[in-house]
Homo-oligomer: A and B are copies of this chain.
Amino acid sequence: MRLNPRRVAEVDRLIHEPARLMIITILSTVESTDFLYLERETGLTKGNLSSHLSKLEAADYIEIEKTYRGKIPLTICKLSEKGEKAFLNYRDQLKYIVENT
């Protein structure tokens, strides 16, 4: 089995970025979750988390629903169908790298 280097460079950079990879791995294990949970789990600052979520949303990889817990704003995030597929595909890329080196 011969590794094709070009394939390595084809990884989805939107997912490849560690901060977003964290977010997506978390979202892949739960039905949905909120901003504050993601903030705690990832250790990202709010600003950073916010902008990464926006990017993932812009790519339709996640869906963001803004609602309220009582009177306090609540931001619910969940992986979209498209995001799930993209992540599965990304995992396959990683597997390909791990298995062929």
Which residues in A have some Cβ–Cβ distance to B below 8 Å? 3, 5-6, 8-11, 13, 16, 18-19, 21-22, 25-26, 28-29, 41-43, 87, 91, 94-95, 97-98, 100-101
Total copies of this chain within the assembly: 2
- Classify the interface of chain A: helix, strand, loop or mixed: helix
Q: How far is the CA of A3 from the CA of B41 in the complex (A)?
A: 11
Interchain residue pairs A-B with the least CB separation, the first 4: A5-B22, A9-B18, A8-B22, A94-B94
Task: List B contacts of A95 (CB < 8 A).
Answer: 98
Check B18 against A13 for contact (C-beta < 8 Å): yes
Residue of B with least CB distance to A26: B5
Check A19 against B9 for contact (C-beta < 8 Å): yes
